[in-house]
Structure 1
Amino acid sequence: MTHGSSPRTLIVTNDFPPRQGGIETFVRELADRFPPDEVVVFTSMPSPVTAESTPGQSFPYPVIRHRVRTLLPTPQVTTHAAAVARRYGCDRVWFGAAAPLGLMAGRLRRTTDIRTAVATTHGHEVWWARTPGARAMLRRIGTEVDALTWLSASTRRPIEAALAPGTRTARLVPGVDTTTFHPCLDGGPVRARYGLGRRPVILCAARLVPRKGQDTLVKALPWIRRVLPDAMLLLVGDGSYASELRRLALAEGVVNSVVFAGGHPHHALPSFYAAADAFAMPCRTRRRGLEVEGLGIVYLEAAASGLPVLAGDSGGAPDAVREGETGYVVDGRSVAATADRLIRLLRNPGLAREMGVKGRHWVQTEWGWDSSYATLAGLLQPEGAAE
């Protein structure tokens, strides 16, 4: 198939809609900024439940799905990716998450016209960097791509320590569409749907997994309700920790004050931010430093929506908050610190509004998707090519 002389990028990723999450948003937003005839996505199949919950998605560029739920750098998957690259005339590749798919880079270079490869790290690559066998594979990925990107200084340090000297790295961060996430939306419909009325609402929108810290919020809620008896916790997201969180809410005596809203597509999230008075995700590092938060795009979306933000101190999460200015950073395991900061925000609407205004301005000036796309496009430019 002939596709003219325009460059074309193959995006290889497991993290793509209809799957939901921060990395999925990251990959989709950057993919959408390519000219549609200059990008093709190679990804995995969604689960039947995920596909059923978000029907009818279409994209302005080709999206080719290998018939597995999770892509791995096996010969079969790599052969399919190479066939897609040849079919669409791709001359560059971006791995939306470096580990493990970046291990495909060498073979793709040898069997296709791909000349430039970039791989992006998030948070889970820190585990790779600190685990002997996986560390060697991350080092190999670094030698086979032209650039390996990182989200924050805290994730950069361990990842770069695992790489061969001379490996090129660069900062590539997510952004926020501040025309979609803004403080002028009406949160009334969400409040009505979940029976929240005019009560103070703390929102956490994230996968329900231990690292995100929803259990700390549930444990903090009784403390908060001693001061603000009608405070509510709104949890948006699905995950393996859901049943444990429900049991915890029952044990803490707040089962009627915690709303489990389930997972929702990314385009539905602005209305949830609009329904909240504060955003909180007290994430924490787990497994002796192997499991960390890469950054946390939800903090930036909340700030763009005019909310004060409470973040945990794991990985790059503190980079998404200006302490004392746009919100607070706490020890994600500290129930007392979490409760104290949330009480401070909910009892002082003026302070919360001021932080929300400052947070939105910060996101508008420093966290744009267009600048992130420009960074990625520059990294994909073959060395020595004309600008």
Structure 2
Amino acid sequence: MTKTLVVTNDFPPRPGGIQAFVHNLAVRRPPGSVVVYAPAWKGAAEFDAAQPFPVVRHPTSLMVPEPTVLRRAGEILRSEGCDSVLFGAAAPLGLLAPALRRRGAERLVGLTHGHEAGWAALPGARGLLRRIGDGVDTLTYLGEYTRSRMARAVSPRAASRMARLAPGVDENVFFAGAGGEEVRRRHGLSGRPVAVCVSRLVPRKGQDALIHAWPAVLRSVPDAALLLVGGGPYRRDLERLAASAGVADSVVFTGSVPWEELPAHYDAGDVFAMPCRTRRRGLDVEGLGIVYLEASATGLPVVAGDSGGAPDAVLDGETGVVVEGRSVAAVAGALADLLGDPERARKMGAQGRSWVEREWRWELQASRLDGLLRA
């Protein structure tokens, strides 16, 4: 049995999508086959005690590819008898790969996310990404968008060894009937058509486009409501925008909610919408958009923006609709069509649920990782 050292800056209890991705892969490794090396974080001791594998914490909240981190990773590699290494995010810790190979690692895999595709667009970072690709045995990619971006930056040999590995969805956690009615009652939304967005409130996610589109949606579906789930630095601007657009009475901001309540908040919607758009000349881009898949698992049709790899998480015209994230008219049209046609929305939601069950379950992703670590 191969034993894997996971070297990662991104790991719970620190919140975030990459953190959840890495943790879900780790907990699905066979018993006794994984050990994690991650930075310190508030609440780590309690979290680590509940894990089915050992977690070694670095004394600071950030790990960089420098001698102290290398030395500690090498010590763990030897003392735990690990023969493979998984970098939770290939950039930048994947720069340690050649040195860890010299210390006994036989197989090295680097997960990539949206930010590595950003590195591929920057001259200095591109060179580092090329070194990382040459140092590991396999770089993973989320979907065709991130693969094509990185393949142009790494060496031909590294590009030929890339493999797809995306986050999964727990279909037993995200499902229709997961508690949405209670959330609707809490916010006074019972009986109304609801578009829900679950995401951090930042400009790239496109909540402002939803609010700009909402007057047009209300002209078609007068009792519709927009439920914005999540916190973030953009909230005050969005609240002002809702007031100035005259739709504040039909836009609900929940703020941040505990992870265990997220399935119920998805389930409170009839349609899921996050019209993300690429910013900063391609440096601020959606890597995949796991929220679309969680919404599909819950039985909702999705309205997705066209940023980066977001379309990889939607079967356009089947599980939802991909729109230009900067087009308020396109966003409004897609929302009004789905909110105004519940039967079409339900059909798309059912197709989305089936797609998740076929292609996106965590067990499938864990099996793919197992194959990469054994190759």
Smaller-chain TM-score range?
A: over 0.9
What is the CA–CA distance in structure 2 between the aligned matches of 1:164 and 1:246, rounded to whole Å? 47
1:129 counterpart residue number = 120
Is 1:87 aligned to residue 84 of structure 2?
no
- After TM superposition, list the pairs within 5 Å mapping 1:135-284 onto structure 2: 135-167=126-158, 168-284=161-277
Structure 2 alignment gaps of length 5 or more: none
Structure 1 alignment gaps of length 5 or more: 1-5
What is the CA–CA distance in structure 2 between the aligned matches of 1:186 and 1:310, rounded to whole Å? 22
Instruction: Please state how far the C-alpha of 1:57 moved relative to its aligned partner.
Output: 7.7
In the alignment, residue 128 of structure 1 is paired with which amino acid?
A: W
What is the CA–CA distance in structure 2 between the aligned matches of 1:71 and 1:57, rounded to whole Å? 21
SS in 1 for 2:192: coil
Candidates 8, 11, 22, aligned match of 1:27: 22
Given that 2:91 and 2:112 are in contact with CA atoms closer than 8 Å, whether structure 1 keeps it comes out as: yes
Q: Do the aligned partners of residues 12 and 242 (structure 1) sit closer, same or farther apart at CA in structure 2, a change above 3 Å counting? A: farther
Given that 1:40 and 1:61 are in contact with CA atoms closer than 8 Å, whether structure 2 keeps it comes out as: yes
Given that 1:21 and 1:206 are in contact with CA atoms closer than 8 Å, whether structure 2 keeps it comes out as: no
Candidates 44, 50, 55, aligned match of 1:63: 55
> Residues 260-317 of structure 1: CA distance to partner in whole angstroms, max 9, x if unpaired?
2222343321111111111111111111122221111111111111000011111111
Given that 2:12 and 2:47 are in contact with CA atoms closer than 8 Å, whether structure 1 keeps it comes out as: no
SS in 1 for 2:12: coil
What is the CA–CA distance in structure 1 between the aligned matches of 2:305 and 2:128, rounded to whole Å? 29
Instruction: Please state how far the C-alpha of 1:251 moved relative to its aligned partner.
Output: 2.5
Instruction: Please state how far the C-alpha of 1:140 moved relative to its aligned partner.
Output: 0.3
1:16 counterpart residue number = 11
What is the CA–CA distance in structure 1 between the aligned matches of 2:231 and 2:78, rounded to whole Å? 37
Given that 2:9 and 2:63 are in contact with CA atoms closer than 8 Å, whether structure 1 keeps it comes out as: yes
Q: Do the aligned partners of residues 370 and 248 (structure 1) sit closer, same or farther apart at CA in structure 2, a change above 3 Å counting? A: same
SS in 1 for 2:120: helix
> Residues 344-373 of structure 1: CA distance to partner in whole angstroms, max 9, x if unpaired?
111111011010111111111121222211
What is the CA–CA distance in structure 2 between the aligned matches of 1:57 and 1:223, rounded to whole Å? 51
Count of residues paired in the alignment: 372
What is the TM-score with the length of structure 2 in the denominator?
Answer: 0.93
Instruction: Please state how far the C-alpha of 1:130 moved relative to its aligned partner.
Output: 1.0
Larger CA deviation: 230-239 vs 98-107: 230-239
What is the CA–CA distance in structure 2 between the aligned matches of 1:22 and 1:104, rounded to whole Å? 23
Given that 2:179 and 2:265 are in contact with CA atoms closer than 8 Å, whether structure 1 keeps it comes out as: no
1:321 counterpart residue number = 314
Given that 1:20 and 1:266 are in contact with CA atoms closer than 8 Å, whether structure 2 keeps it comes out as: no
What is the CA–CA distance in structure 1 between the aligned matches of 2:47 and 2:241, rounded to whole Å? 33
What is the CA–CA distance in structure 1 between the aligned matches of 2:340 and 2:38, rounded to whole Å? 46
Is 1:341 aligned to residue 329 of structure 2?
no
Larger CA deviation: 330-339 vs 171-180: 171-180
SS in 2 for 1:106: helix
Is 1:72 aligned to residue 67 of structure 2?
no
Instruction: Please state how far the C-alpha of 1:56 moved relative to its aligned partner.
Output: 9.1
1:116 counterpart residue number = 107
SS in 2 for 1:124: helix
Q: Do the aligned partners of residues 263 and 75 (structure 1) sit closer, same or farther apart at CA in structure 2, a change above 3 Å counting? A: farther
Given that 2:48 and 2:55 are in contact with CA atoms closer than 8 Å, whether structure 1 keeps it comes out as: no
- After TM superposition, list the pairs within 5 Å mapping 1:345-384 onto structure 2: 345-381=338-374
Instruction: Please state how far the C-alpha of 1:138 moved relative to its aligned partner.
Output: 0.2
In the alignment, residue 135 of structure 1 is paired with which amino acid?
A: R
Given that 2:196 and 2:228 are in contact with CA atoms closer than 8 Å, whether structure 1 keeps it comes out as: yes
